[in-house]
Structure 1
Amino acid sequence: MIQLSLEFQLEKPQLPLEYERLMVSFLKAASRNYSEDMFERLYNKEHSIIKSFTFSTYLPGAVFKGDTIFLRDNRFKVFFTDADMGQIIEWFNAFQLMRYKQYPVSGNSMKLISIRSNNRKDIVDDEIIVKMQSPLIVRRHDSVTNKDIYYTYADEGFSKALCENVEIFIQKMEIGVDTEGLSIEPVKARKVVVNCFGRKVDANLGIYKLRGNCELLNILYQAGMGARRSEGHGKFEILL
């Protein structure tokens, strides 16, 4: 398994509050710059495939003021993974083509200056302790009201709703892996409110116990779990 570590340099040490929206815009630009086929496959709403990647962002010394995040220096990192090994090679090549190119940020600019590929060990246990590196969004759609319900770790049905999110993802990916027995249990969790393209939703950070078969856990390790994974949510690292 591979994780890509991307380092960006900013003209000014600040980012917009909805930096995930900025990163999605960058990913779209990188995929289109690499090949129109890759962009169409991932981002054309008419026939795009289910996305199998996720990312988290490290913002050194971040201070949140209004609609702006002020950083300690003018660099930040993004950690990117993809459950599709062929696709992550495409992403690596796409990112290489974006190196040192100025990318506009509202009243600012950034450029990708470093790309590193790191190997990750496979999960060999059916129970692991994980720490969320980006907020976990657990969502259930109510077909009667046509509204989304967002769950936090303290809500009844949190684990069941997450399992439903994972089952839908696995089905759409057409992966023959068993989701039976998957569960999540908060260990040291906390609720956060995140901005998702102009909408505030409840999400979860902290430490959790995950149970499930190894093959499934390895897929989630690379693809993330929950909703809005490809927008920088649901990525975790293993503590134990």
Structure 2
Amino acid sequence: MFQLKLDFTLEKPELPLELDRLLVSFIKASTSNYSTELYESLYDKTKSVIKPFAFSYYLPGGRFKDDKILLQETRFSMFFSNADLAQMILFFNSFKMMKFQHYPIKNNSMTLTSVRTRKLREIKETEVIIKLQSSLIVRRHEVETNKDYYYTCDDSEFENVLKENINFFLQKLSIPISTDGFGILPIKGKKIVVNVFGRKVDASIGVYKLCGSPELLNLLYQAGMGTRRSEGHGKFEIIW
């Protein structure tokens, strides 16, 4: 198992506040530039496509101010993982083709300078301690009212709804892995409010104990968990 580390340089040491939107657009541009077939398989507007990948980012000295993120340096990194190995290789190739191309940002630009693989530890235990690298969004959708309800680590239904989200992901991708024994326990959990494509929603960050079969935990380690995973949410690292 491995993930990709993408290093970017910036013309100016700042990024838009909705960085998730920017990085999704970069991922779309990368896949479209590399393969029309890959792009359409992921971003066909006529249907909802469940994606097996997640990403997070590292912002050196990042400070949030007004409508932008101010950095201490003209660089930042993105970490990208994917539970589908064949698709991961296609992403690696598509990102490599974007190296040294200036990618425009409003009043700025970014350039991908490095794409490297980093090995992920294989989980062999049924319990691990994780730290969220990007906010975890847990959502229940009511078909009858067409409304979304969001749950955080402060809510009693947090674990149950997260399990529902994981089961939905497994069913949609026809992955024969059971969620029996799954559990999540906040150790230093915190509720936050995040911007998701112009909409504010409740989410969680922090440190948690995650339980489940090694097969399930390894899948979540690569694909992320919760909803909006492919838009920069639900990715975690193992700290113990």
Taking structure 2 as the reference length, what is the TM-score of the superposition? Answer: 0.98
How far, CA to CA, are the matches of 2:44 and 2:107 in structure 1? 28
Please state whether the residue corresponding to 1:23 is helix, strand or coil.
helix
Letter in 2 for 1:6: L
The corresponding residue for 2:143 is 143
Worse overlay, 142-151 or 51-60: 142-151
The corresponding residue for 1:25 is 25
Letter in 1 for 2:162: L
Q: Taking every aligned residue pair, what percent have the same amino acid on both sides?
A: 55
Counterpart check, 1:159 vs 2:176? no
The corresponding residue for 1:63 is 63
Please state whether the residue corresponding to 2:215 is helix, strand or coil.
helix
The corresponding residue for 2:194 is 194
How far, CA to CA, are the matches of 1:56 and 1:82 in structure 2? 12
Please state whether the residue corresponding to 1:110 is helix, strand or coil.
strand
Q: How does 1:173-184 map to 2 (within 5 A)?
A: 173-184=173-184
Please state whether the residue corresponding to 2:95 is helix, strand or coil.
helix
- CA shift for structure 1 position 52: 0.3
Please state whether the residue corresponding to 2:5 is helix, strand or coil.
strand
User: Structure 1 199/47 Cα, relative in aligned 2: closer, same or farther at 3 Å?
Assistant: closer
How far, CA to CA, are the matches of 1:75 and 1:27 in structure 2? 18
The corresponding residue for 1:118 is 118
Letter in 2 for 1:225: M
Letter in 2 for 1:83: A
Letter in 2 for 1:239: I
1:60-100, Cα deviation, whole Å (9 max, x unpaired): 11111111110001000000000000011000000000000
Counterpart check, 1:79 vs 2:79? yes
The corresponding residue for 1:8 is 8
Taking structure 1 as the reference length, what is the TM-score of the superposition? Answer: 0.98
Please state whether the residue corresponding to 1:113 is helix, strand or coil.
strand
Q: CA RMSD in A?
A: 0.9
1:16-42, Cα deviation, whole Å (9 max, x unpaired): 000000000000000000000000000
The corresponding residue for 1:38 is 38
What residue ranges of structure 1 are gaps of 5+ in the alignment? none
Letter in 1 for 2:56: S
Please state whether the residue corresponding to 1:185 is helix, strand or coil.
strand
- CA shift for structure 1 position 47: 4.5
Letter in 1 for 2:120: R
The corresponding residue for 2:213 is 213
Q: Is the 8 A contact 1:224 1:236 kept in 2?
A: yes
Counterpart check, 1:102 vs 2:102? yes
Letter in 2 for 1:89: I
Counterpart check, 1:239 vs 2:236? no
How far, CA to CA, are the matches of 1:146 and 1:46 in structure 2? 19
How far, CA to CA, are the matches of 1:27 and 1:200 in structure 2? 23
